[in-house]
Structure 1
Amino acid sequence: MTNATIEKFGFPATLIHEYRHWVILLRPAQPTLGSLVVAAKSDATAFGDLPARAHAELSAVTRDLEHALRGALAFDKINYLMLMMVDPHVHFHVIPRYEGEREWAGVSVTDAGWPGQPVLGQAVTLTAEQVEALSGWLKELWPV
């Protein structure tokens, strides 16, 4: 099951991992390398409207994504942003934070906001080839 928010973030090309209630997507615009979107598969537009099982599953989702991103990037902090202003369905932007720059497969991204708030407007927009390379890399690092 998908919704318009999931599709806007490039599904299925950006899909990293799928859970029963959630999908993990590579964020097509990268304010920091490894930025993701965690999106609920339901049509809910309010976090509190998700079923209890979706909330419970979030524990495994965050554990897995932090494990994969830590292995990929050695981030210093991680920010979870639930903005839902333009894209109405329940989703989080996951922004790994680090001082300086990270690079993989020719994609180099500096954390422009470090150590303050993330600067979403200075994101690197990925090409289709970069989406494929980065999502493949993160899929390989995802816990089984």
Structure 2
Amino acid sequence: MNATMEKFGWPATQVAQFAHWTVLARPAQPTLGALVLAAKSDATAFGDLPAEAHAELKIVTAAIEAALGRAVGYRRLNYLMLMMVDPHVHFHVIPRYEGAREWQGREFVDCGWPKVPDLGHAVALEGSDREELVQWLKGHFDQSDGSGASTRSA
């Protein structure tokens, strides 16, 4: 656990975890299903992560792509490693799609499509709405990823 994970709501926002990584529902959703993929390490440089963390990215990204494919039917998936304010190694995972997706009566429009994602335009979810989103996403991680392996949700 590190301060960056806490900033994004860990442990309440955790939808899946792996040996070196945790997957969090992003509290501000620029598109439906936006996640934070955070290293559990205190590393502040990508190259400082242990080799095992880099190797595990293959498993983690496959799980994310399968889960978000089921959840929102994205057209593209953007992994953004910004690390300007929050220093620990993490990616913002933004599902991209043309138009909008609806969830729980709310509309989530990809305002940046087909260009750079508009992170400033986001639906902020709090309280029970955020809890429902976390549970909904966990359900997609609990399903098989198509390779016969099950992803591990929190």
Q: Trace 1:73-92 onto structure 2 (pairs within 5 A).
A: 73-92=72-91
Residue correspondences, number: 143
Aligned position for 1:58: 57
2:92 matches 1:93 = yes
2:71 matches 1:72 = yes
Q: Aligned partner of 2:129: which letter?
A: Q
CA distance in 1, matches of 2:88, 2:65: 23
Aligned position for 1:126: 125
Residue pair 1:34, 1:95 contacting (<8 A) in 2 also: yes
Q: Aligned partner of 2:84: which letter?
A: M
What is the deviation of 1:10?
0.4
Aligned position for 1:20: 19
CA distance in 2, matches of 1:133, 1:85: 29
Aligned position for 1:29: 28
Q: Aligned partner of 2:5: which letter?
A: I
Aligned position for 1:8: 7
Residue pair 1:107, 1:130 contacting (<8 A) in 2 also: no
Cα RMSD over matched residues? 0.7
What is the deviation of 1:106?
2.6
CA distance in 1, matches of 2:105, 2:85: 30
What is the deviation of 1:104?
1.3
SS, match of residue 5 in structure 1: helix
Q: TM-score, normalised by structure 2?
A: 0.91
Residue pair 1:3, 1:43 contacting (<8 A) in 2 also: yes
Q: Hey, which bits of structure 1, 4+ residues long, moved more than 2 A?
A: none
Indicate the percent of aligned positions where both proteins have the same amino acid.
62
5+ residue gaps, structure 2: 144-149
SS, match of residue 32 in structure 2: coil
What is the deviation of 1:107?
3.0
CA distance in 1, matches of 2:130, 2:66: 20
